[in-house]
Structure 1
Amino acid sequence: MKVLQISNLPHAFFHGLKDGSSIALGYMPAAVTFGFIAQTAYLSAWETIMMSIFVFAGAAQYMALSLVAAGTGALEIIFTTFFVNLRHFLMSASLNEKAESDHPLKKAGYAFGITDEIFAVTSMNKGEVSSAYIYGVFLISYISWVMFSGVGHSVGELLPSMLQQSLTFALYALFISLLVPSLKKHRKILVLAATAAVLNSLFVQIMAEGWAVILATLLSAAGVEGIEPKQPLHNKPEQKESADV
Protein backbone atom coordinates (compact mmCIF):
# COMPACT_ATOMS: atom_id res chain seq x y z
CA MET A 1 0.00 0.00 0.00
CA LYS A 2 1.25 3.48 -0.80
CA VAL A 3 3.04 5.37 1.94
CA LEU A 4 1.13 8.47 3.01
CA GLN A 5 2.84 11.85 2.80
CA ILE A 6 2.21 13.57 6.12
CA SER A 7 3.05 16.94 4.65
CA ASN A 8 -0.10 16.87 2.53
CA LEU A 9 -2.69 16.84 5.31
CA PRO A 10 -5.85 17.35 3.20
CA HIS A 11 -4.80 14.54 0.89
CA ALA A 12 -4.05 12.24 3.85
CA PHE A 13 -7.40 13.04 5.49
CA PHE A 14 -9.42 12.32 2.35
CA HIS A 15 -7.36 9.21 1.76
CA GLY A 16 -8.44 8.14 5.25
CA LEU A 17 -12.07 8.87 4.45
CA LYS A 18 -11.78 6.73 1.33
CA ASP A 19 -10.15 3.79 3.15
CA GLY A 20 -12.61 4.10 6.04
CA SER A 21 -15.68 4.05 3.79
CA SER A 22 -15.59 0.25 3.64
CA ILE A 23 -15.66 0.15 7.45
CA ALA A 24 -18.55 2.62 7.47
CA LEU A 25 -20.53 0.37 5.14
CA GLY A 26 -19.77 -2.66 7.28
CA TYR A 27 -20.87 -0.85 10.43
CA MET A 28 -24.31 -0.06 9.00
CA PRO A 29 -26.03 -3.42 9.65
CA ALA A 30 -24.26 -3.90 13.01
CA ALA A 31 -25.25 -0.41 14.17
CA VAL A 32 -28.84 -0.81 13.01
CA THR A 33 -29.02 -4.11 14.90
CA PHE A 34 -27.58 -2.47 18.00
CA GLY A 35 -30.09 0.37 17.80
CA PHE A 36 -32.98 -2.02 17.39
CA ILE A 37 -31.91 -4.21 20.32
CA ALA A 38 -31.36 -1.09 22.45
CA GLN A 39 -34.94 -0.13 21.74
CA THR A 40 -36.19 -3.56 22.83
CA ALA A 41 -34.11 -3.18 26.00
CA TYR A 42 -36.11 0.03 26.70
CA LEU A 43 -33.30 2.49 26.06
CA SER A 44 -34.50 5.78 24.66
CA ALA A 45 -33.26 7.04 21.30
CA TRP A 46 -31.16 9.63 23.11
CA GLU A 47 -29.59 7.01 25.41
CA THR A 48 -28.86 4.73 22.45
CA ILE A 49 -27.14 7.46 20.47
CA MET A 50 -25.21 8.70 23.52
CA MET A 51 -23.90 5.18 24.16
CA SER A 52 -22.60 4.98 20.60
CA ILE A 53 -21.09 8.47 20.87
CA PHE A 54 -19.24 7.91 24.14
CA VAL A 55 -18.42 4.19 23.97
CA PHE A 56 -18.00 3.45 20.25
CA ALA A 57 -17.22 -0.23 20.78
CA GLY A 58 -19.59 -2.73 19.23
CA ALA A 59 -18.89 -5.81 21.37
CA ALA A 60 -18.83 -3.79 24.60
CA GLN A 61 -22.09 -2.04 23.70
CA TYR A 62 -23.82 -5.33 22.98
CA MET A 63 -22.52 -6.72 26.27
CA ALA A 64 -23.75 -3.63 28.09
CA LEU A 65 -27.20 -4.07 26.56
CA SER A 66 -27.47 -7.59 27.93
CA LEU A 67 -26.54 -6.31 31.39
CA VAL A 68 -28.98 -3.40 31.13
CA ALA A 69 -31.74 -5.82 30.14
CA ALA A 70 -30.90 -7.93 33.20
CA GLY A 71 -31.15 -4.89 35.49
CA THR A 72 -27.43 -4.82 36.32
CA GLY A 73 -26.01 -1.82 38.16
CA ALA A 74 -23.96 0.89 36.47
CA LEU A 75 -20.69 -0.01 38.21
CA GLU A 76 -20.80 -3.62 37.01
CA ILE A 77 -21.51 -2.46 33.45
CA ILE A 78 -18.56 -0.05 33.57
CA PHE A 79 -16.16 -2.75 34.79
CA THR A 80 -17.40 -5.28 32.23
CA THR A 81 -17.00 -2.75 29.42
CA PHE A 82 -13.49 -1.97 30.64
CA PHE A 83 -12.40 -5.61 30.54
CA VAL A 84 -14.01 -6.26 27.17
CA ASN A 85 -12.14 -3.27 25.74
CA LEU A 86 -8.72 -3.98 27.27
CA ARG A 87 -7.41 -5.06 23.85
CA HIS A 88 -7.79 -1.46 22.67
CA PHE A 89 -4.83 -0.47 24.86
CA LEU A 90 -2.64 -2.89 22.95
CA MET A 91 -3.95 -1.76 19.57
CA SER A 92 -3.38 1.90 20.42
CA ALA A 93 0.15 1.20 21.65
CA SER A 94 0.93 -0.74 18.48
CA LEU A 95 -0.46 1.96 16.19
CA ASN A 96 1.50 4.61 18.10
CA GLU A 97 4.70 2.97 16.83
CA LYS A 98 3.64 3.72 13.24
CA ALA A 99 1.98 7.09 13.80
CA GLU A 100 3.75 10.38 13.20
CA SER A 101 4.87 12.47 16.17
CA ASP A 102 2.05 14.80 17.12
CA HIS A 103 0.47 16.65 20.03
CA PRO A 104 -0.70 14.26 22.78
CA LEU A 105 -4.24 15.67 22.62
CA LYS A 106 -4.47 14.89 18.91
CA LYS A 107 -3.29 11.36 19.58
CA ALA A 108 -5.75 11.00 22.46
CA GLY A 109 -8.53 12.04 20.10
CA TYR A 110 -7.94 9.34 17.54
CA ALA A 111 -6.99 6.77 20.21
CA PHE A 112 -10.63 6.96 21.31
CA GLY A 113 -11.62 5.86 17.81
CA ILE A 114 -9.38 2.79 17.53
CA THR A 115 -11.64 -0.20 16.97
CA ASP A 116 -10.61 -3.59 15.59
CA GLU A 117 -11.50 -2.58 12.04
CA ILE A 118 -9.95 0.89 12.19
CA PHE A 119 -6.75 -0.55 13.66
CA ALA A 120 -6.57 -3.13 10.88
CA VAL A 121 -6.94 -0.52 8.11
CA THR A 122 -4.55 2.07 9.57
CA SER A 123 -1.86 -0.39 10.60
CA MET A 124 -1.67 -1.93 7.11
CA ASN A 125 -0.10 1.21 5.67
CA LYS A 126 3.63 1.00 5.07
CA GLY A 127 5.84 3.48 6.82
CA GLU A 128 4.73 6.36 9.02
CA VAL A 129 1.01 7.11 9.21
CA SER A 130 -0.23 10.67 9.63
CA SER A 131 -2.74 11.81 12.23
CA ALA A 132 -4.86 13.27 9.42
CA TYR A 133 -5.17 9.85 7.78
CA ILE A 134 -6.13 8.13 11.04
CA TYR A 135 -8.74 10.81 11.74
CA GLY A 136 -10.17 10.30 8.26
CA VAL A 137 -10.61 6.56 8.81
CA PHE A 138 -11.95 7.14 12.31
CA LEU A 139 -14.46 9.90 11.59
CA ILE A 140 -16.30 8.29 8.68
CA SER A 141 -16.57 5.03 10.65
CA TYR A 142 -17.67 6.86 13.80
CA ILE A 143 -20.37 8.86 12.02
CA SER A 144 -21.71 5.70 10.41
CA TRP A 145 -21.89 3.83 13.73
CA VAL A 146 -23.58 6.66 15.63
CA MET A 147 -26.01 7.59 12.85
CA PHE A 148 -27.19 4.05 12.13
CA SER A 149 -27.54 3.28 15.83
CA GLY A 150 -30.22 5.98 15.84
CA VAL A 151 -31.73 4.59 12.63
CA GLY A 152 -31.98 1.13 14.19
CA HIS A 153 -33.74 2.53 17.24
CA SER A 154 -36.20 4.42 15.04
CA VAL A 155 -36.93 1.33 12.95
CA GLY A 156 -37.58 -0.66 16.12
CA GLU A 157 -40.09 1.90 17.34
CA LEU A 158 -42.12 1.44 14.14
CA LEU A 159 -42.61 -2.29 14.75
CA PRO A 160 -45.59 -3.61 16.74
CA SER A 161 -44.80 -4.06 20.44
CA MET A 162 -45.50 -7.80 20.28
CA LEU A 163 -42.95 -8.21 17.49
CA GLN A 164 -40.42 -6.10 19.38
CA GLN A 165 -40.69 -8.32 22.44
CA SER A 166 -40.44 -11.52 20.41
CA LEU A 167 -37.23 -10.33 18.75
CA THR A 168 -35.32 -9.76 21.98
CA PHE A 169 -33.68 -13.13 21.31
CA ALA A 170 -31.61 -11.33 18.65
CA LEU A 171 -29.06 -10.27 21.28
CA TYR A 172 -28.34 -13.86 22.27
CA ALA A 173 -28.32 -14.99 18.65
CA LEU A 174 -25.77 -12.29 17.89
CA PHE A 175 -23.43 -13.43 20.66
CA ILE A 176 -23.68 -17.02 19.44
CA SER A 177 -22.92 -15.97 15.88
CA LEU A 178 -19.82 -14.10 17.11
CA LEU A 179 -18.66 -17.06 19.17
CA VAL A 180 -19.13 -19.94 16.72
CA PRO A 181 -16.45 -18.92 14.16
CA SER A 182 -13.86 -18.65 16.94
CA LEU A 183 -14.88 -22.05 18.31
CA LYS A 184 -14.12 -23.63 14.94
CA LYS A 185 -10.58 -22.23 14.90
CA HIS A 186 -9.41 -22.47 18.50
CA ARG A 187 -10.10 -25.23 21.01
CA LYS A 188 -9.12 -22.88 23.81
CA ILE A 189 -12.07 -20.60 23.00
CA LEU A 190 -14.47 -23.51 23.55
CA VAL A 191 -12.90 -24.30 26.92
CA LEU A 192 -12.92 -20.62 27.87
CA ALA A 193 -16.59 -20.13 26.91
CA ALA A 194 -17.72 -23.30 28.69
CA THR A 195 -15.75 -22.49 31.84
CA ALA A 196 -17.04 -18.94 31.95
CA ALA A 197 -20.63 -20.16 31.50
CA VAL A 198 -20.34 -22.68 34.34
CA LEU A 199 -18.68 -20.19 36.69
CA ASN A 200 -21.22 -17.50 35.86
CA SER A 201 -24.08 -19.91 36.59
CA LEU A 202 -22.57 -20.57 40.03
CA PHE A 203 -21.62 -16.99 40.88
CA VAL A 204 -24.99 -15.55 39.88
CA GLN A 205 -26.52 -17.49 42.77
CA ILE A 206 -24.49 -15.56 45.34
CA MET A 207 -23.82 -12.14 43.76
CA ALA A 208 -25.20 -9.58 41.34
CA GLU A 209 -25.29 -10.71 37.71
CA GLY A 210 -22.86 -8.04 36.52
CA TRP A 211 -20.19 -8.96 39.07
CA ALA A 212 -20.79 -12.64 38.30
CA VAL A 213 -20.00 -12.01 34.63
CA ILE A 214 -16.84 -10.05 35.48
CA LEU A 215 -15.53 -12.61 37.97
CA ALA A 216 -16.37 -15.58 35.75
CA THR A 217 -14.61 -13.95 32.80
CA LEU A 218 -11.45 -13.13 34.75
CA LEU A 219 -11.17 -16.51 36.44
CA SER A 220 -11.88 -18.52 33.31
CA ALA A 221 -9.39 -16.49 31.25
CA ALA A 222 -6.68 -16.82 33.91
CA GLY A 223 -7.40 -20.51 34.41
CA VAL A 224 -7.39 -21.43 30.73
CA GLU A 225 -4.16 -19.52 30.12
CA GLY A 226 -2.58 -21.22 33.13
CA ILE A 227 -3.47 -24.81 32.28
CA GLU A 228 -3.37 -24.62 28.48
CA PRO A 229 -0.40 -26.72 27.33
CA LYS A 230 2.36 -24.76 25.69
CA GLN A 231 3.04 -25.23 22.01
CA PRO A 232 5.98 -27.60 21.45
CA LEU A 233 9.17 -25.95 20.31
CA HIS A 234 10.29 -27.01 16.88
CA ASN A 235 13.95 -26.61 17.69
CA LYS A 236 16.78 -29.04 18.00
CA PRO A 237 17.17 -30.79 21.39
CA GLU A 238 20.21 -28.73 22.41
CA GLN A 239 18.43 -25.51 21.44
CA LYS A 240 15.37 -26.47 23.47
CA GLU A 241 17.54 -27.19 26.51
CA SER A 242 19.20 -23.80 26.36
CA ALA A 243 15.82 -22.11 25.87
CA ASP A 244 14.46 -23.77 29.02
CA VAL A 245 17.36 -22.34 30.99
Structure 2
Amino acid sequence: MADLALGKESSDFKKGLQAGISIGIGYFPIALTFGLLAKTSGLSIYETVLMSLIVFAGASQYISLSLIAYGTGIFEIILTTFIVNIRHFLMSTSLNEKCEEDQLINKLIYSFGITDETFSVVATKEGTASTGFLFGVISVSYTSWVVFSGIGHLIGANLPQTLQDSMAVALYAMFIGLLVPSMKNNVKVIFLAVFGAIFNSIFTIGHIMAQGWSIVTATLLSAILIESAEIIKAKYRGAGHEK
Protein backbone atom coordinates (compact mmCIF):
# COMPACT_ATOMS: atom_id res chain seq x y z
CA MET A 1 0.00 0.00 0.00
CA ALA A 2 2.83 2.36 0.85
CA ASP A 3 4.47 1.66 -2.53
CA LEU A 4 1.20 2.37 -4.32
CA ALA A 5 0.75 5.65 -2.45
CA LEU A 6 4.33 6.65 -3.19
CA GLY A 7 3.88 5.78 -6.86
CA LYS A 8 0.71 7.89 -7.06
CA GLU A 9 2.42 10.88 -5.44
CA SER A 10 5.31 10.57 -7.89
CA SER A 11 2.91 10.39 -10.83
CA ASP A 12 0.92 13.40 -9.58
CA PHE A 13 4.14 15.34 -9.03
CA LYS A 14 5.18 14.72 -12.66
CA LYS A 15 1.74 15.87 -13.84
CA GLY A 16 2.16 18.99 -11.72
CA LEU A 17 5.57 19.65 -13.29
CA GLN A 18 4.04 19.37 -16.75
CA ALA A 19 1.16 21.68 -15.82
CA GLY A 20 3.59 24.22 -14.35
CA ILE A 21 5.82 24.48 -17.43
CA SER A 22 3.57 27.11 -19.04
CA ILE A 23 3.78 29.18 -15.85
CA GLY A 24 7.56 28.87 -15.77
CA ILE A 25 7.79 30.06 -19.38
CA GLY A 26 5.42 32.94 -18.63
CA TYR A 27 7.51 34.02 -15.63
CA PHE A 28 10.69 34.17 -17.74
CA PRO A 29 10.31 37.73 -19.14
CA ILE A 30 8.70 39.16 -15.99
CA ALA A 31 11.32 37.75 -13.61
CA LEU A 32 14.09 38.76 -16.00
CA THR A 33 12.79 42.33 -16.06
CA PHE A 34 12.47 42.33 -12.28
CA GLY A 35 16.14 41.35 -11.98
CA LEU A 36 17.14 44.11 -14.38
CA LEU A 37 15.14 46.71 -12.47
CA ALA A 38 16.40 45.46 -9.12
CA LYS A 39 19.93 46.10 -10.35
CA THR A 40 19.08 49.65 -11.44
CA SER A 41 17.32 50.23 -8.10
CA GLY A 42 20.53 49.51 -6.23
CA LEU A 43 19.85 45.98 -4.98
CA SER A 44 22.70 43.48 -4.99
CA ILE A 45 22.24 40.12 -6.69
CA TYR A 46 21.99 38.48 -3.26
CA GLU A 47 19.23 40.87 -2.18
CA THR A 48 17.42 40.38 -5.49
CA VAL A 49 17.46 36.58 -5.33
CA LEU A 50 16.63 36.61 -1.61
CA MET A 51 13.58 38.80 -2.25
CA SER A 52 12.34 36.38 -4.91
CA LEU A 53 13.03 33.43 -2.60
CA ILE A 54 11.19 34.92 0.38
CA VAL A 55 8.43 37.03 -1.20
CA PHE A 56 7.64 35.21 -4.48
CA ALA A 57 5.02 37.75 -5.55
CA GLY A 58 5.62 39.62 -8.80
CA ALA A 59 3.42 42.69 -8.35
CA SER A 60 4.51 43.17 -4.74
CA GLN A 61 8.18 42.90 -5.66
CA TYR A 62 7.80 45.50 -8.40
CA ILE A 63 6.00 47.83 -6.02
CA SER A 64 8.74 47.26 -3.44
CA LEU A 65 11.35 48.39 -5.97
CA SER A 66 9.40 51.60 -6.50
CA LEU A 67 9.10 52.20 -2.76
CA ILE A 68 12.79 51.42 -2.21
CA ALA A 69 13.67 53.97 -4.91
CA TYR A 70 11.65 56.56 -2.96
CA GLY A 71 13.50 55.70 0.23
CA THR A 72 10.37 54.33 1.89
CA GLY A 73 10.67 52.67 5.29
CA ILE A 74 10.47 48.92 5.84
CA PHE A 75 7.13 49.07 7.67
CA GLU A 76 5.38 50.88 4.81
CA ILE A 77 6.78 48.37 2.30
CA ILE A 78 5.55 45.41 4.38
CA LEU A 79 2.12 46.99 4.85
CA THR A 80 1.79 47.75 1.13
CA THR A 81 2.79 44.18 0.27
CA PHE A 82 0.17 42.86 2.70
CA ILE A 83 -2.56 45.00 1.13
CA VAL A 84 -1.61 44.01 -2.42
CA ASN A 85 -1.57 40.31 -1.52
CA ILE A 86 -4.64 40.24 0.70
CA ARG A 87 -6.51 38.44 -2.10
CA HIS A 88 -4.40 35.39 -1.29
CA PHE A 89 -6.62 34.73 1.72
CA LEU A 90 -9.55 34.16 -0.65
CA MET A 91 -7.49 32.06 -3.06
CA SER A 92 -6.16 29.89 -0.24
CA THR A 93 -9.65 29.37 1.15
CA SER A 94 -10.92 28.36 -2.28
CA LEU A 95 -8.04 25.93 -2.90
CA ASN A 96 -8.49 24.37 0.54
CA GLU A 97 -11.81 22.98 -0.73
CA LYS A 98 -10.16 21.80 -3.94
CA CYS A 99 -7.14 20.06 -2.45
CA GLU A 100 -7.03 16.65 -0.80
CA GLU A 101 -6.82 16.33 2.96
CA ASP A 102 -3.23 16.30 4.14
CA GLN A 103 -0.95 17.18 7.04
CA LEU A 104 -0.92 20.83 8.07
CA ILE A 105 2.82 21.11 7.45
CA ASN A 106 2.36 20.17 3.77
CA LYS A 107 -0.41 22.72 3.37
CA LEU A 108 1.73 25.41 4.97
CA ILE A 109 4.57 24.65 2.56
CA TYR A 110 2.61 24.66 -0.69
CA SER A 111 0.40 27.59 0.35
CA PHE A 112 3.55 29.74 0.11
CA GLY A 113 3.66 28.97 -3.61
CA ILE A 114 0.14 30.17 -4.39
CA THR A 115 0.16 32.92 -7.00
CA ASP A 116 -2.50 34.08 -9.46
CA GLU A 117 -1.05 31.70 -12.05
CA THR A 118 -0.63 28.61 -9.87
CA PHE A 119 -4.09 29.20 -8.44
CA SER A 120 -5.60 29.25 -11.95
CA VAL A 121 -3.87 26.01 -12.94
CA VAL A 122 -4.85 24.14 -9.77
CA ALA A 123 -8.39 25.55 -9.56
CA THR A 124 -9.21 24.54 -13.15
CA LYS A 125 -7.86 21.00 -12.74
CA GLU A 126 -10.53 18.33 -12.98
CA GLY A 127 -11.24 16.57 -9.74
CA THR A 128 -9.32 16.90 -6.49
CA ALA A 129 -5.80 18.35 -6.57
CA SER A 130 -3.31 16.14 -4.76
CA THR A 131 -0.40 17.38 -2.70
CA GLY A 132 2.03 15.89 -5.23
CA PHE A 133 0.37 17.83 -8.06
CA LEU A 134 0.55 21.08 -6.10
CA PHE A 135 4.22 20.61 -5.28
CA GLY A 136 4.93 19.88 -8.95
CA VAL A 137 3.21 23.04 -10.22
CA ILE A 138 4.80 25.24 -7.56
CA SER A 139 8.29 23.75 -7.98
CA VAL A 140 8.44 24.82 -11.64
CA SER A 141 6.97 28.29 -11.14
CA TYR A 142 9.03 29.05 -8.02
CA THR A 143 12.31 27.87 -9.56
CA SER A 144 11.64 29.83 -12.75
CA TRP A 145 10.91 33.04 -10.86
CA VAL A 146 13.96 32.85 -8.60
CA VAL A 147 16.46 31.73 -11.26
CA PHE A 148 15.42 34.27 -13.89
CA SER A 149 15.39 37.07 -11.30
CA GLY A 150 19.07 36.32 -10.67
CA ILE A 151 19.85 36.06 -14.38
CA GLY A 152 18.13 39.40 -14.99
CA HIS A 153 20.34 41.04 -12.36
CA LEU A 154 23.47 39.54 -13.93
CA ILE A 155 22.44 40.82 -17.35
CA GLY A 156 21.72 44.24 -15.88
CA ALA A 157 25.16 44.37 -14.29
CA ASN A 158 26.73 44.06 -17.74
CA LEU A 159 24.65 46.79 -19.36
CA PRO A 160 26.06 50.32 -19.88
CA GLN A 161 25.25 52.66 -17.00
CA THR A 162 23.14 54.96 -19.18
CA LEU A 163 21.00 52.00 -20.25
CA GLN A 164 20.68 50.83 -16.65
CA ASP A 165 19.41 54.28 -15.64
CA SER A 166 16.86 54.32 -18.46
CA MET A 167 15.49 50.94 -17.33
CA ALA A 168 13.57 52.76 -14.58
CA VAL A 169 10.97 53.61 -17.23
CA ALA A 170 10.26 49.89 -17.63
CA LEU A 171 8.97 49.79 -14.06
CA TYR A 172 6.08 52.11 -14.93
CA ALA A 173 5.51 50.25 -18.21
CA MET A 174 5.16 47.03 -16.21
CA PHE A 175 2.58 48.60 -13.89
CA ILE A 176 0.58 49.77 -16.91
CA GLY A 177 0.87 46.33 -18.48
CA LEU A 178 -0.53 44.73 -15.32
CA LEU A 179 -3.30 47.31 -14.93
CA VAL A 180 -4.73 47.63 -18.45
CA PRO A 181 -5.95 44.00 -18.88
CA SER A 182 -7.73 44.21 -15.51
CA MET A 183 -9.32 47.52 -16.47
CA LYS A 184 -10.81 45.94 -19.61
CA ASN A 185 -12.57 43.26 -17.60
CA ASN A 186 -13.62 45.18 -14.51
CA VAL A 187 -14.93 48.74 -14.22
CA LYS A 188 -14.12 48.72 -10.49
CA VAL A 189 -10.42 48.49 -11.31
CA ILE A 190 -10.65 51.66 -13.41
CA PHE A 191 -12.22 53.63 -10.55
CA LEU A 192 -9.77 52.10 -8.07
CA ALA A 193 -6.81 53.19 -10.20
CA VAL A 194 -8.20 56.68 -10.79
CA PHE A 195 -9.09 57.37 -7.16
CA GLY A 196 -5.80 55.87 -6.00
CA ALA A 197 -3.88 58.18 -8.32
CA ILE A 198 -5.89 61.21 -7.18
CA PHE A 199 -5.46 60.50 -3.46
CA ASN A 200 -1.76 59.74 -3.87
CA SER A 201 -1.23 62.98 -5.83
CA ILE A 202 -3.02 65.02 -3.16
CA PHE A 203 -1.02 63.46 -0.34
CA THR A 204 2.30 63.79 -2.17
CA ILE A 205 1.97 67.21 -3.80
CA GLY A 206 0.45 68.66 -0.67
CA HIS A 207 3.28 67.17 1.43
CA ILE A 208 0.65 65.69 3.71
CA MET A 209 2.60 62.47 4.23
CA ALA A 210 5.68 60.61 3.04
CA GLN A 211 5.64 58.83 -0.34
CA GLY A 212 5.39 55.35 1.16
CA TRP A 213 2.50 56.19 3.46
CA SER A 214 0.71 58.14 0.71
CA ILE A 215 0.64 55.01 -1.49
CA VAL A 216 -0.63 52.83 1.36
CA THR A 217 -3.28 55.35 2.44
CA ALA A 218 -4.40 56.10 -1.11
CA THR A 219 -4.83 52.38 -1.81
CA LEU A 220 -6.86 51.81 1.36
CA LEU A 221 -9.07 54.87 0.86
CA SER A 222 -9.75 53.96 -2.77
CA ALA A 223 -10.67 50.38 -1.88
CA ILE A 224 -12.97 51.51 0.97
CA LEU A 225 -14.64 54.11 -1.27
CA ILE A 226 -15.26 51.68 -4.14
CA GLU A 227 -16.51 48.86 -1.91
CA SER A 228 -18.79 51.27 0.00
CA ALA A 229 -20.28 52.42 -3.30
CA GLU A 230 -20.84 48.76 -4.27
CA ILE A 231 -22.63 48.03 -0.98
CA ILE A 232 -24.86 51.10 -1.33
CA LYS A 233 -25.66 50.16 -4.94
CA ALA A 234 -26.54 46.58 -3.92
CA LYS A 235 -28.85 47.83 -1.15
CA TYR A 236 -30.49 50.28 -3.53
CA ARG A 237 -31.12 47.49 -6.06
CA GLY A 238 -32.45 45.24 -3.30
CA ALA A 239 -34.86 47.94 -2.17
CA GLY A 240 -35.98 48.44 -5.77
CA HIS A 241 -36.76 44.72 -6.20
CA GLU A 242 -38.75 44.64 -2.96
CA LYS A 243 -40.97 47.39 -4.28
Question: Normalising by structure 2, what TM-score?
Answer: 0.91
Quick one: distance in 2 between partners of 1:177 and 1:124? Answer: 25
Residue 37 of structure 2 corresponds to: 37
Residue 227 of structure 2 corresponds to: 225
Whether 1:174 and 2:174 are equivalent positions in the alignment is yes
Quick one: distance in 2 between partners of 1:232 and 1:7? Answer: 56
Quick one: distance in 2 between partners of 1:232 and 1:181? Answer: 30
Whether 1:12 and 2:8 are equivalent positions in the alignment is no
CA shift at 1:149, angstroms? 0.1
CA shift at 1:230, angstroms? 3.8
Alignment of 1:177-196 (within 5 A): 177-196=177-196
Quick one: distance in 1 between partners of 2:149 and 2:101? Answer: 34
Residue 150 of structure 2 corresponds to: 150
Quick one: distance in 1 between partners of 2:12 and 2:182? Answer: 35
Residue 209 of structure 2 corresponds to: 207
CA shift at 1:219, angstroms? 0.6
CA shift at 1:127, angstroms? 2.0
The CA RMSD measured in Å over matched residues stands at 2.0
CA shift at 1:209, angstroms? 1.2
Q: Is the Cα–Cα contact under 8 Å of residues 6 and 129 in structure 1 kept in the other structure?
A: no
Residue 108 of structure 1 corresponds to: 108
Q: Is the Cα–Cα contact under 8 Å of residues 6 and 12 in structure 1 kept in the other structure?
A: no
Change (3 A) 1:211 1:154: same
Runs of 4+ with >4 A deviation? none
After TM superposition, the structure 1 stretch with the greater mean CA deviation from structure 2, 38-47 or 180-189, is 180-189
CA shift at 1:120, angstroms? 0.6
CA shift at 1:189, angstroms? 1.8
Quick one: distance in 1 between partners of 2:94 and 2:229? Answer: 28
Query: What is the SS of the residue equivalent to 1:189?
Result: helix
Residue 134 of structure 1 corresponds to: 134
CA shift at 1:7, angstroms? 6.8
Alignment of 1:76-115 (within 5 A): 76-115=76-115
Residue 61 of structure 1 corresponds to: 61
CA shift at 1:181, angstroms? 2.1
Question: Normalising by structure 1, what TM-score?
Answer: 0.90
Q: Is the Cα–Cα contact under 8 Å of residues 100 and 131 in structure 1 kept in the other structure?
A: yes
5+ residue gaps, structure 1:
none
CA shift at 1:167, angstroms? 1.9
**Structure 1 vs Structure 2: percent identity of aligned residues?**
51
The one-letter code of the counterpart of 1:196 is G
Quick one: distance in 1 between partners of 2:185 and 2:126? Answer: 29
CA shift at 1:187, angstroms? 2.6
Alignment of 1:226-245 (within 5 A): 226-228=228-230, 229-230=233-234, 240-241=241-242
